[in-house]
């Protein structure tokens, strides 16, 4: 750098020698994208936590509301897995409908966002399959706790008032 600076001063004496490295310039160009990435990860985690809490509360409310139905099914001979599957299936249907609505919207938004870059990646269907699987797993874990709790409850307590 010193020899380049000396040659520069030889031909451009009045102008100060200033230099920058290209990788630092590229780093500055993508700094905002990296900040957006970090913020997106944090907000996605918070959104998942809030949605799991809401789903947990809704599952508890539904289990309490259907307490007599669950008690009758247990008396008739339904197993814990049958009752848990019955309660989880309702939530799973709603989550899958929401997933299939959001996939085309997210593909469109990602496509519009990626058009602003000169080098683009193609959105692969595997990303959406993995995301869908994770959503189903999180939903089943969240709802199954309340469903199993409701299925294990003594049917005598729920049918006592009848």
Q: What is the pLDDT of residue 161?
A: 63
pLDDT in tens, 79-120: 888 888 888 888 899 999 999 999 999 999 988 888 887 777
Domain that holds residue 52: 2-159
Rounded Cα–Cα distance for residues 101 and 125 (Å): 15
CB proximity list for 61: less than 8 A, separation 6 or greater: none
The radius of gyration computed from the CA coordinates of the chain, to the nearest angstrom, equals 29
pTM (predicted TM-score): 0.70
- Tell me the two tokens of residue 26: 């590229």
Rounded Cα–Cα distance for residues 140 and 158 (Å): 25
pLDDT in tens, 42-64: 999 999 999 999 999 998 898 88
Confidence of residue 130 (pLDDT cuts 50, 70, 90): very high
Number of domains in the chain: 1
């Amino acid at each position: 750098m010193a020899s380049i600076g000396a040659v520069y001063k030889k031909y451009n004496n009045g102008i100060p020698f200033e230099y920058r490295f290209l990788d630092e310039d590229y780093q500055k160009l993508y700094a905002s994208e990296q900040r957006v990435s970090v913020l997106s990860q944090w907000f996605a985690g918070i959104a998942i936590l809030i949605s799991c809490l809401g789903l947990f509360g809704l599952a508890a409310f539904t289990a309490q509301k259907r307490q007599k139905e669950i008690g009758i099914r247990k008396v008739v001979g339904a197993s814990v897995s049958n009752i848990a599957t019955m309660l989880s299936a309702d939530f799973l249907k709603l989550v899958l409908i929401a997933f299939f609505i959001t996939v085309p919207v997210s593909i469109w938004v990602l496509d519009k966002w990626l058009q602003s870059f000169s080098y683009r990646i193609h959105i692969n269907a595997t990303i959406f399959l993995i995301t869908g699987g994770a959503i189903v797993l999180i939903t089943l874990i969240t709802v199954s706790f309340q469903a199993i709790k409701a299925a294990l409850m003594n049917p005598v307590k729920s049918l006592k008032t009848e």
